Amino acid sequence: MGIVRFVGRGSEETVVEIGPDETILRAAWRSGVEIPTKCGGNGLCAWCTQTIRSGIEHVIGLPQYNPHDQDGKTRAKTCQMKVAEDGEVVIEP
């Protein structure tokens, strides 16, 4: 199993184990982390886009991300991302 750390503002952090077939968005919802979406996680709206703070090398399925966003951060749709087994990814809003 992989690990996703959802880091919020301040000292908030939620650590979730994620299976190989689960998206980061579904893992967030399962653990009570709120990530907005209009399409229900089907990859159509981009509302679930979050910043990948670290661990991008462990992300599987980055068909739609912009590594040179205007603020220099890597962002991706969490409904499209999965985490490699034994990998750890840190996500922030």
Q: What is the pLDDT of residues 30-56, one digit of tens each?
A: 999 999 999 999 989 989 999 999 998
Q: Which numeric CATH code is attached to 2-92?
A: 3.10.20.30
- Indicate left, alpha or beta for 57 from its phi (over 0: left) and psi (-120 to 50: alpha): alpha
**Ranges of each domain in the chain:** 2-92
Please state, in angstroms and rounded to a whole number, the distance separating the CA atoms of residues 81 and 58.
Answer: 10
Residue 69: pLDDT band (50, 70, 90) is low
Contact 75, 81 (CB under 8 A): no
Cβ-in-10-Å burial (0-12, 13-18, 19+) of 25 comes to: buried
For residue 59, what are its two tokens? 């992300």
79-93 tens-digit pLDDT: 989 999 999 999 998
